[in-house]
Amino acid sequence: MGSLTVRNLPEDVKQRLRMRAAANGRSMEEEVRLLLAEGAAETPAPVKKPAAAKGAEQAAPATHRVLLIIAGGIAAYKSLDLIRRLRERGMAVRVVMTKAAQEFVTPLSAGALAGERVFTDLFDPASEFDVGHIRLARNNDLIVVAPATADLMARMANGHADDLATAVLLATDKPILLAPAMNPRMWGNRATQRNIARLVADGVATVGPNSGEMAESHEAGTGRMAEPLEIVAAAEALLTRTHDKPLAGRRIVITSGPTHEPIDPVRYIANRSSGKQGHAIARAAAAAGARVTLVSGPVELPDPPGVATVHVETAREMLAAVERALPADVGIFAAAVADWSVAQAGAQKLKKDGGGPPQLALVENPDILATIAKLKAKRPRLVIGFAAETEKVIEHAKAKLKRKGSDWIVANDVSAAGGAMGGDNNAVHLIIANGGEVNVESWPTQSKDGVAKALVARIAAALKAAP
């Protein structure tokens, strides 16, 4: 009996075989054996569907349809995992790949994971008659672009439509989520920042990029694509139906994190704030449909999806960014702003000159919460401050409410025993100015996400009660 070597088959046959084997979760040799057996029996064996991912009901119809556009960046390899993660959550995934994306991953692998052919060409006669870019643009609930390269974002921002990906993005009426990924210098370039700002202003949502090591060696900074699970969470937030969005149409400005006040070019005054609580509130408010501007001091956290994040260092920069973000319906001041800055920060590194330690003269920083609460014309309807206290939490918070002129204060115990600073949980008291009286609600200890969601629900109720 003769033997058959897969390696010697024509290239196009091998290609189709590879696709079929991948879709059926078999090796190529196994697939050949089955095909031969089927041929011999003249009764085709059923083609096994790709195994339903864990947690997904095999028979259940897809909850949502996502069109994933993969652009040409090294992070494209993570998009293969993203396809799996989206399908695990019961979403149907259709994939478009740009020409450059195909230099990094093949349509074959993306197609095998998505369970259907991948679309690559604007002028593909088969797809123009069958699906076409207009139907690709419309027959979905959400378009995710991951990785979103600097070039693709530039073309989107300027309304180009010279390949399938950009034509679909221009023709769609569905929400778009971008997961930018690029070299940190490309991300920091003014042109890229201009383009992303324009896209966000056009209503496009973003997730990431994150900071850290890049795939290229010796490169680090902001530019890593968000992890697949972060992208899935952002996609799910966008897919939540509008009736779950009690803050739709509201504008909210939030401060978060510490500020850094320079002593000289290498040293600064800082505090232990992680920004976790402020960022959690920004995420929860965006998920509730608000248009959120997050003014963040230096933190180790990714920018929340769907939130316009402004990065600042000092208290003065934070105040200026908040003022630029007004008008807003609600202002939430969760940042741990440094109370003082160095009067004359050294232009050069301070040196030990034998004359003893330098005398640093401090000046008081502007109080952002108090400044905004006392505005006449642009004061948000609801001004919410935080009170970080290490003792007599409620008493001090009540005094702060009055002194700063805010409507509510979220008071938390930041003593080492409380564990709120940098930790994931928070026990807070909500202090509410109610005419001449002050009401106090003490909430149970919960995660910072839990506090954020509860606060957002209270804000939505308050705005609804006094429209």
Handedness of CA 307, 308, 311, 315 (dihedral sign): negative
Helical (H) or strand (E) element with 145: strand 142-148
CA distance 412 to 430: 9
CA distance 146 to 392: 49
CA-wise closest residue to 185 among 209, 202, 204: 209
Q: Name the residue nearer to ligand CTP (CB basis): 290 or 336.
A: 336
Minimum CB–partner distance for residue 431 and ligand CTP (Å): 12
Minimum CB–partner distance for residue 169 and ligand CTP (Å): 38
Q: Which residues bind ligand CTP (CB under 6 A)?
A: 255, 315, 333, 335-337, 339, 365, 367-369, 385-388, 400
CA distance 298 to 377: 30
- Asked whether 112 and 21 are in contact (CB, 8 A), the reply is no
Q: Name the residue nearer to ligand CTP (CB basis): 38 or 313.
A: 313
Half-sphere exposure at residue 346, Cβ-oriented, CA atoms within 13 angstroms: 13
| The residue to which tokens 């989206």 are assigned | 86
Residue numbers annotated as active site: 271
Total length of the chain:
467
Tokens of 273: 């704030």
Q: Where are the alpha helices (DSSP H) in 189-287?
A: 190-201, 228-239, 276-287
Residue number closest to ligand CTP, CB atom: 368
Q: Name the residue nearer to ligand CTP (CB basis): 136 or 281.
A: 281
Minimum CB–partner distance for residue 82 and ligand CTP (Å): 36
CA distance 76 to 22: 19
Minimum CB–partner distance for residue 333 and ligand CTP (Å): 4
Q: Name the residue nearer to ligand CTP (CB basis): 205 or 410.
A: 410
Minimum CB–partner distance for residue 325 and ligand CTP (Å): 14
Q: Where are the alpha helices (DSSP H) in 25-130?
A: 28-41, 76-88, 107-114, 125-130
Task: Output DSSP code: residue 304.
Answer: P
Q: Name the residue nearer to ligand CTP (CB basis): 4 or 362.
A: 362
Minimum CB–partner distance for residue 272 and ligand CTP (Å): 12
CA distance 417 to 384: 25
Q: Name the residue nearer to ligand CTP (CB basis): 166 or 255.
A: 255
Handedness of CA 334, 399, 391, 427 (dihedral sign): negative
